[in-house]
Structures are given as structure tokens and as C-alpha cells.
Amino acid sequence: MPINRIRNLFRDRQCHVYCVGAAKTGTTSISHVYSQCIRAAHEPEVTQTTNLVIEFLQNSISENVVRKELQKRDKRLFLELESSHPLGYLAPFLTDLYPEARFVVTVREPKSWLKSRLNYHHYKSPPEWKKYRDYIWSRHFNGFAKEEKILEEHGLFSLEAYLKQYAEQYEILFSKIPSDKCIIVKTSEIDEKIPAITEFIGIGDKNLSPVWTNKLEKEKDILSLIESDFVSEKISHHCAFYKKLFE
């Protein structure tokens, strides 16, 4: 029997939680906060996980295969909290496989998210994420408007591609995760919501310290190079869900 299976026989879970907000919404910080008291990880098994998501979205594997792979993955990792944005696309399977699981959905104001997403995509290019990045945004890419040629020059995608993917992920999350199994947390409110998250996931009264990581400090802000009215129009068109969510 594999050593991880033997190990898991002698320990239990305090909780079973997935943080499945989009990238750049605080998922790294959530994992770091809760690693202070439970088995938590941020984006483990990147290549295997993203390949599974891509194969599912391409309809190249069956739903039954997805379920089996998720079950094998869970037995390997045996985490109490996993913070991994690609799993947002597989949330419908996770809710079926693990009805006791809780979901933390971090969500960021779209303009703030877009600024962070563009900067991170421009300045950081982890090789293990290239295949997933190229696939997940190219699905929504239909060329560049004249107002966003700067994105083309920097090897990025269009605003439409980023925003449609952002909205797509939340449409899946909000339509497929039962409301009583989900807590929605604004990125800007993560620090103050830690006690509420802790209570929701059921691990008792913990004195946890906020941890902010994965911040990128750069002089050039890519989004500021695009005319603001154009940016606002794109956000209004593609991300109306955010305003409805917090009205």
C-alpha cells in the first residue's frame, strides 16, 4: 500500500474545504492563513490538475474519468483545505463526490482583478502554468480592439478574453455549489472575514493572523495604458454578475 494511503489511515480531517475563487482573488492568502492550524495547500499538483481541467473542458475525457481522477487525487493529498482556482471548473464534481465539503469563494472587484491579472500575466510566466493560461483564455479570444493594441504588444490576451473567463468561472460556482455549502468573500474583506470563514468551515475558535502573499510590485501598470472608458465598458458588459452579487 502506498505510504500516503497508510498515513491517511491513522489521521482524520477536521474539515474538508475548497477555496475556488479565481486566480488573484486571495486564494494564496487563504491557504497561508489556514496552514497555521490545518493541512492546507495552494495549487498542489499544478500540471496534473490543470491537465485534468483542460481535458474535461475539451470533452476529451468522460465525467466518470473526472470523478475517478478527483477521488485518486484526494486520497493522495488528503488535505483539509485546498486553495486552487482551476478546481472551480470541477466544482460540480466535487460537490457530488464530497457532499460534506465546504467551499470558500473569493471574489474581487473586476477592475482591481483585471489590473492584477494583467500585471501578473505580463511579469510572471511560470512554465508549469503556460499550457493552462494559453488554453483557458484563448477559448474566449476573438482578436484585439484598436484600444487594446498594447496588450497584443505585450503578448497578452484581450480584455474580453480575461473578463469572459472570470465571469465564466463564477457562473459555474454560483450555479453549481449549494448555497448552504458556500461562503462568498470579497478579496478586500478577507482579513475581517477570517473569523466567519473559520466558523463556516467548522474548525472551532482559532486565533489566526492574516497573511497576504503573492503581491506583485511593479512600476508599470498595464491596465492604465488602456483608455479608461473602454475598460469600464468591457467590465460592465462582461462582469455584471459582480454588481448583482453585492447589490
pLDDT of residue 207: 72
Strands 102-107 and 81-83, by their bridges, are: unpaired
Q: What is the pLDDT of residues 142-192, one digit of tens each?
A: 999 999 999 999 999 999 999 999 999 999 999 999 999 999 999 999 999
CATH number given to 3-245: 3.40.50.300
Q: Grid coordinates representing 153? A: 504588444
pLDDT of residue 9: 46
CA angle 77, 44, 22 (to 5 degrees): 125
Per the CB < 8 A criterion, the answer to whether 121 and 223 are in contact is no
Q: What is the pLDDT of residues 95-146, one digit of tens each?
A: 999 999 999 999 999 999 999 999 999 999 899 999 999 999 999 999 999 9
Does the pLDDT value for residue 42 go beyond 90? yes
220 — pLDDT class (breaks 50, 70, 90): confident
Does the pLDDT value for residue 204 go beyond 90? no
Q: What's the chain's Rg over C-alpha atoms?
A: 18
**Beta carbons within 8 Å of 41's beta carbon, 6+ residues apart:** 31, 35, 77, 79, 81, 82, 83
Of all residues in the chain, the percent with pLDDT exceeding 70 is 90
